[in-house]
Structure 1
Amino acid sequence: MRAIPDNMDAAIVAAVEERLRRVEHDHGVRISWAIESGSRAWGFPSPDSDYDCRFFYIHTRNAYLTPWPARDVIETPLDKVFDVNGWDVIKAVRLLVKGNATVTEWLRSPIVYFGDESFRDNMLWLATSLYDPVRAGRHYLHVGQQQREGALNDLTLKRVFYALRPAATLLWLHTNPDAGVPPMDVPTLLDQTELSAELKERIAELIALKSTTRELGTGAVPAAITDFITRELMLARDLYEDVDPTVHPDAIALAEEWFRGVVDG
């Protein structure tokens, strides 16, 4: 499977894919899913946004049966254009069980460098089976708090949007309590919430501004947007901060069975 928008630089896309092939060769792994994350997939890129490629990879069965397991992350050199790194599927499964929503986001990215569609569908089944909106809320609360603190210290459009996205997701979660996994991109999130038309318009204007502003540029951020971020995080703190993080044994058993099937397959 491959899904690359026409507005992405073909030469850079090819260079990303070459990095991925080198990862497979140099580390002896199989990359089952490689996507674009970050602002491009979230719906608010800047003209100079870097390329945030993320991927899941699988070792051979014997590699998981050693007393000295390898790291569960593979990173390639980071620079102003390329941010390419990925997770061992075993790390992804552990995070899914704990309620980390990043794994599900990668599986649902609209931008795919290459991937096994059956692997994606299979892992989405696991993610949906393990999905808990309360744990998801706790995840986005913590992400939002971290990004908001960064925005207060360094008010760039990038920082504001990185705080806005988890806030919008938190709003979506309590607007759509029975709808399952939230969308990945901000425009879709906002379309499916009860946000006022005026605030949606202010956010759309800010997205348009960011699309013409350098990644670290600053811009006037309407108070209504910063107030929205603060309000959603305060509400989420009351709902999710004290959630019991204990993982149910049934979730662990399901994840273990799924993982064995992927490795043996």
Structure 2
Amino acid sequence: MTEITKIIDEKLNEIEEKEKVKILHAVESGSRAWGFASPDSDYDVRFIYVRKMEDYLRLKEERDVIEWQLDETLDINGWDLKKALQHFHKSNATLFEWSNSPIVYRTTKEWQDIYRTASDYFSIKSAMYHYYGTANGNFLEYLQEDEVKYKKYFYVIRPLLACRYIKEKAAPPPVLFEELMKLELPDEIRCEIQKLLAVKVNTPEAGKGQRIDILNHYIEKELSTYKENVNLMADDRKAEWDVLNELFLRMLRLEA
């Protein structure tokens, strides 16, 4: 166990004790989970927790998030199980990423059961819409000037590759960027991305450079394609709640 993972484990124990919750699953999210962290990237720890059954029956409801720490090194926050299941029903793409993060700080058998059930709620259209929206928003906000932050290219390219994966595989995309890079790409685009990645992982978060026009043109073309794809897709979300309701009650009984 490294020093930082030891600190994170201590923080998770502290949360359980002080908040009187059980952490079901805790992972790294963001650039470290994606595989392209900068030397000064912080640690984005995300977790799902459950309270005792009686806590869900109080007239005064508890908050459904725990925001534990935010500083230059650690960003730690978590979602209540009820909130997580509600977002699985919506096919929340970020929640699917937490569920499939390659860096797991803590997990439980209960969480494996939860994800096995909730994964049936994955929606192709909802996920595609999320990643298209993320790529489009970041492209318009961060990649229009002559000089741009290196990391912002990956905040656009990664979700575009996720769209490609979803379209081809009809499944949640891999979290690791290197797995997404196994998809077919034009040689010149792959070369530019790999060169930029080598610079990015050795440059501080604020590092900037000249806009890369060949990548911008590629991005614009891909955004147009996926906007059209999403608009033509039928809504494939599951409407029923019974399975998730039963799952939630089952988990609460285990904590009773």
Instruction: Give the TM-score normalised by the residue count of structure 2.
Output: 0.89
Gapped regions of structure 2 (runs ≥ 5)? none
Counterpart residue identity of residue 42, structure 1: W
Cα shift readout 1:114-168 (whole Å, capped 9, x = no counterpart) = 221x234223212321112111111212222332233137821222211221111
Q: 1:53 aligns with which of 32, 45, 51?
A: 45
Alignment pair present for 1:209 and 2:185: no
Task: State whether residues 141 and 237 of structure 1, in contact with CA within 8 Å, keep that contact through their aligned partners in structure 2.
Answer: yes
Provide the secondary structure at the position in 2 that maps to 1:76. strand
TM superposition shift of 1:244 = 7.2
Which of 192, 215, 218 lines up with 1:225 in the alignment? 215
Alpha-carbon distance in 1 for matches of 2:164, 2:237? 25
Identity within the alignment, % = 33
Aligned to 1:7: none
Q: Which moved more, 1:161-170 or 1:230-239?
A: 230-239
Runs of 4+ in 1 over 4 A off after TM superposition: 241-248
Amino acid at match of 2:193: I
Matched, 1:98 2:90: yes
Question: Following TM superposition, by how much is the alpha carbon of 1:254 offset from its aligned partner in structure 2, in angstroms?
Answer: 1.9
Structure 2 equivalent of residue 25 of structure 1: 17
- Equivalent runs, 1:65-104 vs 2, <5 Å: 65-104=57-96
Q: Which residue of 2 aligns with 1:159?
A: 152
> How big is the shift at 1:46?
0.6
For the residues of structure 2 that align with 1:64 and 1:220, how far apart are their CA atoms?
A: 52
CA contact (8 A) 1:99 1:139 kept: no
Q: Cα distance 1:231–1:99, how it changes in 2: closer, same or farther (>3 A)?
A: farther
Query: What letter is aligned with 1:200?
Result: R
| Structure 2 Cα separation of the partners of residues 205 and 229 of structure 1 | 17
Q: Is the 1:151–1:163 contact (alpha carbons within 8 Å) kept by the matching residues of 2?
A: no
Whether 1:249 and 2:242 are equivalent positions in the alignment is no
Q: Would the alpha carbon gap of residues 228 and 255 (structure 1) be closer, same or farther in structure 2, given more than 3 Å must change?
A: farther
How many residue pairs match? The answer is: 252
Tell which deviates more after alignment, 215-224 or 101-110: 215-224
Q: Which deviates further from its counterpart, 216-225 or 78-87? A: 216-225
CA contact (8 A) 1:32 1:56 kept: yes
**Under a length normalisation based on structure 1, what TM-score does the superposition of the two structures give?**
0.87
For the structure 1 residues 153 and 263, does the alpha-carbon distance in structure 2 shift closer, same or farther, using more than 3 Å as the test? farther
Residue 168 (str. 1) matches residue 161 (str. 2): yes
Offset of 1:18 from its aligned partner?
1.8
